[in-house]
Amino acid sequence: MKIGSRFFIFEHKNRKSMSTIEELNAIGGTVVRRLRRKKLESGKPFLIWSSELPKNQSYLEYPDHSIKVVTVSPDLKSFHLVRELTQGQIETIRRRFNLL
């Protein structure tokens, strides 16, 4: 009986931790969306990291709603354009990252 009770408590604690992690992820997502909105509203681009791109590349979203693939310099102060995305690719990225 004790083993079962301990297992239940362990399970319960893990569920609580998962809930806390999910809450932190939700809060983090809200903060990132707010930062994105502020950057774009102030006329600055917003960098979107994606594990789908090669390690040294990221998406850069501009206030005009365009998105480009860039390579960011090691000092994080400049970037080089790799390619511009088509409107269809931009819509796919917006859906994937919930940027609608």
pLDDT tens sequence for the chain (100 residues): 333 334 444 444 455 555 777 777 777 778 888 999 999 999 999 999 999 999 889 999 999 999 999 998 888 788 899 999 999 999 999 999 888 7
Is residue 23 located within the same domain as residue 62? no
Residues 6+ apart with CB under 8 A from 76: none
Residue among 74, 75, 73, 70 at smallest CA distance from 57: 70
Using the 8-state DSSP alphabet, how is residue 76 labeled? S
Is residue 11 located within the same domain as residue 39? yes
Structural domain range at position 78: 45-100
Is residue 98 located within the same domain as residue 49? yes
What does the pLDDT read at residue 10?
43
Strand partners of residue 81: 70
Is residue 100 located within the same domain as residue 74? yes
What does the pLDDT read at residue 7?
41
Is residue 25 located within the same domain as residue 49? no
Is residue 34 located within the same domain as residue 55? no
Q: What burial letters (b/e) apply to 16-41, b meaning 16+ CB within 10 Å? A: eeeeeeeeeeeeeeeeeeeebeeebe
In whole angstroms, what is the distance from residue 62 CA to residue 46 CA?
A: 7
